[in-house]
Amino acid sequence: MSLPLVTTAERRHRLGRRHRLAPSAHAATVAEAADSVVALHATDAATVFLSARARLTEGGPDAIERALYEDVSLVRLLSMRNTLFAVSAELAPYVDASTARAIAAKERRTLLKHLDEDGQGLDAAWLADAEAAALDALDTHGPSTGSQLSAAVPALRQKITISRGKKYEAEQGVATRVIRLLAADGRIRRARPRGSWTSSQYRWVHTEPWPAIPAAEARTEITRRWLRAYGPATEADLKWWTGWTLTDVRKALAAVGPDQVRLEDGSTALVSPGDTGTEPAPGPWAALLPALDPTAMGWADRGFHLDPTHRSALFDYAGNIGPTVWWNGEIVGGWAQRSDGEIVWRLLGNPGRAAEQAITTEAARLAAWVGEARITPRFRTPLERELVA
């Protein structure tokens, strides 16, 4: 029995609809925008806002700030690939149990190892006291930056020596590590930053850890949602995206029971159970997505939406993608913002006049949305640098 065929055009139709990038599929809420791609990359503060903007029917930066800091329908978690993501509050317990718990345990082991090697007698009991003092300070003073917490908690001003006796020996303060550990454990979360929505200088607030969910159950739920958003995809894609072990990936896939499909190159891929039908074309659409947008980073193999010859212009040396221009489910160029606020872009190829007109309109819409804010990606890429210059 032959497998259903999913063409490249069909994959791009799915991307436009399921990632809510086509105007006819835009999300009504920020949480829905995040859920459409499972999680929004959050290493760069601006990415969360610009990724959500591209998928929303309406609303400016203030709508996303409300979701993050007031109704807390969107939260940042250190999770997949040991990277910061923003996910809906509904999905957060599953992300926490499937991925973040293991990261938090590793973070704790690493810090305790450094404390022991430092030789000052700092141990697990000292760390527990420092964490408790930090939480008490947040309860007393309210949302606080790392420097404000250090000022309020003497233990956070402690310094330790990392890699003592080695060529790369360095003295470090413990404040950043303790705060990172509290965040990884879900006992504090990032609140409104100092400065604008593009700032990463967050204040912190005391919060309750997420409800406990069995890790296997959580990985199954993440896999189910990921297949719905990113299928057709492969076992290797899921392993890359999550950072899970191959054993955990295979167990989660077995629990979901995906269907197999055939791609145009003759290879096979996985989709959600029963998700082998065709996706209606969503109509012409253009999008300007930020650096590290999840649609550009959702698969280990991105050949269906990116011409490999354009990779060197759009990615940095570590594999981080910069700001991209999309036309009907394909990356056709890159964009940047200059110091005067102008949004500039360049096509890599010739997608046609209709594409250029739609991209021009979308660039103007983005410029109006960004307003006086200035966007410089944390990971800069060759094309982005050229456009700014």
pLDDT in tens, 160-199: 988 877 888 888 899 999 999 999 999 999 999 999 999 9
pLDDT in tens, 125-158: 999 999 999 999 999 999 999 999 999 999 999 9
Per-residue pLDDT averaged across 85-108, rounded? 96
Confidence band of 86 (pLDDT split at 50, 70, 90)? very high
Per-residue pLDDT averaged across 57-86, rounded? 96
Per-residue pLDDT averaged across 319-346, rounded? 96
pLDDT in tens, 271-294: 999 999 888 889 999 999 999 999
Question: If DSSP states are collapsed to H, E and C, what string results for the chain?
Answer: CCCCEECHHHHHHHHHHHCCCCHHHCECCHHHHHHCCCCEECCCHHHHHHHHHCCECCCCHHHHHHHHHCCCCEEEEECHHHCEEEEECCCHHHHHHHHHHHHHHHHHHHHHHHHHHHCCCCCHHHHHHHHHHHHHHHHHHCCECHHHHHHHCHHHHCEEEECCCCCCCEEEECHHHHHHHHHHCCCEEEEEECCCCCCCCEEEEECCCCCCCCHHHHHHHHHHHHHHHHCCECHHHHHHHHCCCHHHHHHHHHHHCCEEEEECCCCEEEECCCCCCCCCCCCCCEEEECCCCCCCCCCCCCCCCCCHHHHHHHECCCCCECCEEEECCEEEEEEEECCCCCEEEEECCCCCHHHHHHHHHHHHHHHHHHCCCCCCCCCCCHHHHHHHC
**Cut 0.85: pTM above it:** yes
pLDDT in tens, 295-330: 999 999 888 999 999 999 999 999 999 999 999 999
Predicted pLDDT of residue 60: 96
* Range of lowest pLDDT (4-13, 156-165, 344-353, 378-387): 156-165
Predicted pLDDT of residue 162: 86
Confidence band of 1 (pLDDT split at 50, 70, 90)? low
